[in-house]
Amino acid sequence: MQVEAEQPARRKGDETARRVRDAALKLFARHGYAAVSVRQIATDVGVQPGALYNHFPTKQDILRDLMLAHMADLLAAWNKDEVTRSPGEDPLDAFVRFHIRYHLERADEVFVAYMELRNLEPENFAEVEAARQQYEKILSDLLEDGVRAGRYAVADPKVATRAIIAMLTGIPTWYRPGRGLSRQDIETLYLTMVRKCVAPETSKPTGDG
Amino acid sequence: MQVEAEQPARRKGDETARRVRDAALKLFARHGYAAVSVRQIATDVGVQPGALYNHFPTKQDILRDLMLAHMADLLAAWNKDEVTRSPGEDPLDAFVRFHIRYHLERADEVFVAYMELRNLEPENFAEVEAARQQYEKILSDLLEDGVRAGRYAVADPKVATRAIIAMLTGIPTWYRPGRGLSRQDIETLYLTMVRKCVAPETSKPTGDG
DNA sequence: CAAAAATAAATGAACGATCATTCATTTTCA
DNA sequence: TGAAAATGAATGATCGTTCATTTATTTTTG
């Protein structure tokens, strides 16, 4: 007898693996990888602990899976954004908008990907780190191009990249959609700040010190 | 407050407690609170696990101690900075310089204070959070004053506060003194970016989007 | 100042609980 | 019917913490 309506066409095993990922993501985001037990994940999935090992060899592999998938999704989403967007748009504007939207949509993934780096075994860390650098390179290339073209002015594009990404990635740590500012407000505010930050025509220094 | 009139003078015991804090700070910064065992801390201190409980009632209290002390030190350091600095200096410049210097000097404390918030029990979290908001208020007050005086222009000082602090606090996650840029270089680069970010005279928008 | 009493700190061994993981067996389902 | 999935129980290891006892230091005395 069917307890719940399930999609009969879908392979059940894939379904469980997906639910493991979902449960682990939420638990890791809330409590941290090291503080979450395999038993907690299993309980959330509604299964015995041993059953998880039909889908993931170890707890570490669940984390690895989540983080690599996140980085791959992020890069894929950027590539898709690049081809979809209107050709005249300023690349930095596009990046900022993309980054904010993606990071607000996938807050848990982003949070885990940042916080749990140190809990990755070395080889897994190296993979994730490579993807992270790939993503950073998008912005720094874009800044370097803009500097060459005279559209932006930054003394050190690599440092500016770090600064901008830190600024944007910090948003999900405090912003909760639905109360106060809208997503659009956030986009506008940060877009303005980032633009000014790299603007070629500096306003004069405050000059009273 | 509580009346602790008789202070038992400085004893050797304080020394062990200090070593526990030092060891715990380094271990928590490197591996995370949840991933570090009391036994590891005791080993680093050079003592048996049970001996730690002569100085801290629980593992949680070690974390609480580290985080509250960090926040208190941070606020105290700012107050000291405020009275020491030259009176003509722009307050935002002073804040940025202070924040960068302090956060580069105390990288482990800062990292733990940020990463381990979720491992604090509720009442401990509330205390730390209150101090954090107090520190944020320094910058947002300063921005609001500057906006009123026309020295800065930011649409939302609270958001700008978050953005600037995220940007600056991100520095210790990638910057290692001694190779490449000097601390002075970092200060200059970030000071320039922050100034531009809040500058009252905006350069014209890039205008091709 | 030295002996005795009091206090503090550290030891070493243990506590029950929980950890990630394994596995023989049973259930599920194409 | 056969393979994948889940169970339920167990593994040894490690977790934070406790505790009776020993060792070290400080305070109180004569």
Do residue B101 and residue B186 come from a single domain? yes
Give the integer Cα–Cα distance in Å for B38 and B40: 5
User: CATH no. for residue A85?
Assistant: 1.10.357.10
Give the integer Cα–Cα distance in Å for B209 and B204: 13
Report residues 1-20 of A contacting strand C, contact meaning Cβ closer than 7 Å: 8, 12
Do residue B48 and residue B68 come from a single domain? no
Do residue B97 and residue B185 come from a single domain? yes
Do residue B50 and residue B65 come from a single domain? no
Q: Distance, angstroms, CA A13 to C1' D4?
A: 8
Residue A29 to chain B, least CA–CA distance (Å)? 10
Do residue B114 and residue B156 come from a single domain? yes
Instruction: Check residues A11 and A117 and name the one with the higher pLDDT.
Output: A117
User: Domain for residue B208, yes or no?
Assistant: no
Do residue A119 and residue A43 come from a single domain? no
Q: What is the pLDDT of residues B32-74, one digit of tens each?
A: 999 999 999 999 999 999 999 999 999 999 999 999 999 999 9
The reported pLDDT for the residue numbered B202 is 53
User: Domain for residue B17, yes or no?
Assistant: yes
User: Domain for residue A150, yes or no?
Assistant: yes
Do residue B84 and residue B185 come from a single domain? yes
Q: Distance, angstroms, CA B6 to C1' D29?
A: 22
The whole-number average pLDDT for the span B93-121 is 97
B132 touches strand C (CB under 7 A): no
User: Dihedral (C-alpha) A101, A103, A106, A108: value to the nearest 10 degrees?
Assistant: -150
CB–CB contact B197 A202 (8 Å): no
Do residue A157 and residue A65 come from a single domain? yes
A80 residue type, one letter: K
Do residue A162 and residue A190 come from a single domain? yes
Do residue A130 and residue A157 come from a single domain? yes
Q: Which residue of B93, B197, B208 is in closest CB contact with A193?
A: B197
Contact A162, B174 (CB under 8 A): yes
Give the integer Cα–Cα distance in Å for A156 and A161: 9
Do residue B85 and residue B140 come from a single domain? yes
User: Domain for residue B174, yes or no?
Assistant: yes
pLDDT over 80 at A10, yes or no: no
Contact B20, B62 (CB under 8 A): yes
Contact B159, A181 (CB under 8 A): yes
Chain B touched by A150 (CB under 8 Å): no
The whole-number average pLDDT for the span B68-83 is 98
List, in order, residues 6 or more apart from A111 with CB less than 8 Å away.
A29, A172, A173
Judged by average pLDDT, the poorest of A4-8, A114-118, A129-133, B35-39 is: A4-8
Structural domain of residue A99, as residue ranges?
57-197
Question: What total number of domains does chain A contain?
Answer: 2
Give the integer Cα–Cα distance in Å for A77 and A98: 9
Do residue A79 and residue A165 come from a single domain? yes
pLDDT over 70 at A31, yes or no: yes
User: Domain for residue A128, yes or no?
Assistant: yes
Protein-proximal positions, strand D, CB < 7 A: 4-10, 14-20, 25-27
Protein-proximal positions, strand C, CB < 7 A: 8-14, 18-24, 29-30
User: Domain for residue B205, yes or no?
Assistant: no
Q: What is the pLDDT of residues A42-71, one digit of tens each?
A: 999 999 999 999 999 999 999 999 999 999
Closest CA to the C1' of D14: that residue is B37
The whole-number average pLDDT for the span A127-146 is 98
User: Domain for residue A97, yes or no?
Assistant: yes
| Closest residue, chain A, to B90 (C-alpha) | A209
User: Domain for residue A3, yes or no?
Assistant: no
ipTM passes above 0.95: no
Q: Which residue of B32, B119, B206 is in closest CB contact with A151?
A: B206
User: CATH no. for residue B41?
Assistant: 1.10.10.60
